A and B are shown apart, each in its own frame.
Chain A
Amino acid sequence: KQEVTQIPAALSVPEGENLVLNCSFTDSAIYNLQWFRQDPGKGLTSLLLIQSSQREQTSGRLNASLDKSSGRSTLYIAASQPGDSATYLCAVRPETSGSRLTFGEGTQLTVNP
């Protein structure tokens, strides 16, 4: 059974800091990995999707890496801003096409002005 763990559970940083969120998964037989953002009381916004054959993806100030063999992914946020405050969720999709995502519990990020 796939298990996804995110560390830390919560993080508070001053504005401008670069930060790293960690995600680990127990079964390396994944098709892809997706990072989402969830604001309080809102839905999920997709940030980055990394296919299993890829090592990283970048979008603006966000960079996600994937080490499939070791079961790890990191989300790097450069020059953090108060607007980045949200819960960040990591989810993996197994190799079986079309199957469900397994989510981590999330990292709650607060960026202080």
Chain B
Amino acid sequence: NAGVMQNPRHLVRRRGQEARLRCSPMKGHSHVYWYRQLPEEGLKFMVYLQKENIIDESGMPKERFSAEFPKEGPSILRIQQVVRGDSAAYFCASSGAANYGYTFGSGTRLTVV
């Protein structure tokens, strides 16, 4: 079991470009969570998805950010028209049944130049 796979590991974008971050959950896990870690700050929840459904997006900025978890393929976190303040580490986690813990991926480190 390869665990939670995130790619790319590092992503550099110029201001105004789009960033696409991918996350493949652990095999058998149907719950996906995205978190953001700004420099020198803690992990903040962004969005929780199950297959084809957004369950809780209360932590996600209203503009420029979107997430999906299609029936087939990885979960995608999309940031449009990136700004310098979007530079952060973005972590994806997955879980199975409710009494299971979370498993995190290694993260994608986004740098906006």
Residues of A with Cβ closer than 8 Å to B?
31-32, 34, 36, 41-46, 49, 51, 89, 91, 93, 97-106
Contacts and interface: CB of A to CB of B under 8 A. Distances in A.
A34 B106 contact: no
A91 B4 CA distance: 18
Interface in B55-112: 55-56, 59, 91, 93, 95, 98-107, 109
A82 B109 CA distance: 26
Given A43-B104, A43-B105, A106-B42, A98 B91 contact: no
Interface of B: 31, 33, 35, 41-45, 48, 50, 55-56, 59, 91, 93, 95, 98-107, 109
B56 A46 contact: no
Nearest to B105: A43
A45 B55 CA distance: 25
